Amino acid sequence: MGPVQSRHPGAVCVYFLCVLLPVIFGIDPLTAGTGLLSGALLLWLLAGHFPGKEYLGYLGIVLFSGVINPMFNHNGETPLFFLNSNPVTREALLYGWVMGMLIAAALIWSRCFLLMMDTDRLLTVMSRLSPKVSLILSMALRYVPLLRRQARMAREAQAGLGLIREENGLDRMKGAVRIFDGMVTWGLENGITLADSMTARGYGMGKRTRYVLYPWEGQDTLLTAGSLGMMLIILGAKWMGWIGYSWYPRLVTPAFRLPGIAAYLLFVALCLAAPALELWDRARWKRLISQV
């Protein structure tokens, strides 16, 4: 488990949110490109191998968006050529590529988030926000393998009794209906038993307590405060007009003065924090192994 993945699930969620918000709402080639490249590096580290097929999919999203957008969006003052008497403008072409990079960056960071956050960690975050929703979600996730196991047992039992025939589609449908009917009955009975068991154990009575599987530590506070501070500075720079692009009717680039450059560098540091920590932790582990 890496240094970021070992942090509290709430702190990890805040970090990913602080990375995605400037990427999604910035519509900026620099922030989108930085998010895409840093996310690709983090995915490589978390996957344990070079995910070439996934990279090709994300590249296809970028190229597809860049081709499709100028075909339907004809805004812009710089036509490159005409297609069916409709102008294909430079602004629409660049905007499509940036939107493709934005979508790919959001998808690749979401993929990294799923690799870092397992079911227990997600339920930990949900239990803080809404304990009842977390309980319903955990029960629903638990019922999926239970239903599959019970359906397999019912099918094997009916097959042993000779009730399931594979001769034609009608026989297969009748067998599936019998299994489904048994699953509904089993689900209702199991729900009643579970409700009685929770009532007998005092669920909903008195003050609610929770088991803390992931305690909050000082490094979690540092990660959360640092991520939020960087995100607020970047969004503030966007609001002040120090960073950001204007696409229509003509492309307007930022002035690239000191505050804007500092905001971009801060976003680069924010995106590269997780990959850098992963690389540092692996280098440290290899050094310790070599000293044994």
211-265 tens-digit pLDDT: 567 777 888 888 889 889 888 888 888 887 788 777 777 777 777 788 888 888 9
Backbone φ and ψ for 79, nearest 5 degrees, come out as -70, 135
Residue 68 domain-assigned (yes or no) = yes
Residue 13 domain-assigned (yes or no) = yes
Contacts (Cβ under 8 Å, ≥6 apart) of 225: none
**Total residue length of the chain:** 292
Give the chain's mean pLDDT.
80
Helix or strand run (H / E) with residue 89: strand 86-89
Residue where one domain finishes, among candidates 140, 171, 200:
200
Give the pLDDT confidence of 126-181 residue by residue, as tens digits. Answer: 666 666 666 676 777 777 778 888 888 877 777 777 666 666 666 677 777 777 77
Provide the whole-model pTM: 0.72
Structural domains in the chain (count): 2
Work out the pLDDT band at 61, boundaries 50, 70, 90: confident
Task: Looking at the structure, tell me whether residues 112 and 32 fall in a common domain.
Answer: yes
Task: Looking at the structure, tell me whether residues 77 and 58 fall in a common domain.
Answer: yes
What per-residue confidence (pLDDT) applies to 245? 78
- Asked whether the beta carbons of 271 and 38 are under 8 A apart, the reply is yes
Task: Looking at the structure, tell me whether residues 229 and 115 fall in a common domain.
Answer: yes
d(CA 148, CA 153): 9
d(CA 38, CA 42): 6
Residue 39 domain-assigned (yes or no) = yes
Residue 208 domain-assigned (yes or no) = no
Task: Looking at the structure, tell me whether residues 46 and 102 fall in a common domain.
Answer: yes
Residue 276 domain-assigned (yes or no) = yes
In sequence order, the β-bridge partners of residue 89 are 79
Task: Looking at the structure, tell me whether residues 113 and 229 fall in a common domain.
Answer: yes
Residue 179 domain-assigned (yes or no) = yes
Task: Looking at the structure, tell me whether residues 105 and 245 fall in a common domain.
Answer: yes
Task: Looking at the structure, tell me whether residues 118 and 144 fall in a common domain.
Answer: no
Q: What's the domain range around 178?
A: 127-200
d(CA 2, CA 88): 46
Residue 141 domain-assigned (yes or no) = yes
Task: Looking at the structure, tell me whether residues 169 and 115 fall in a common domain.
Answer: no
Residue 4 domain-assigned (yes or no) = no
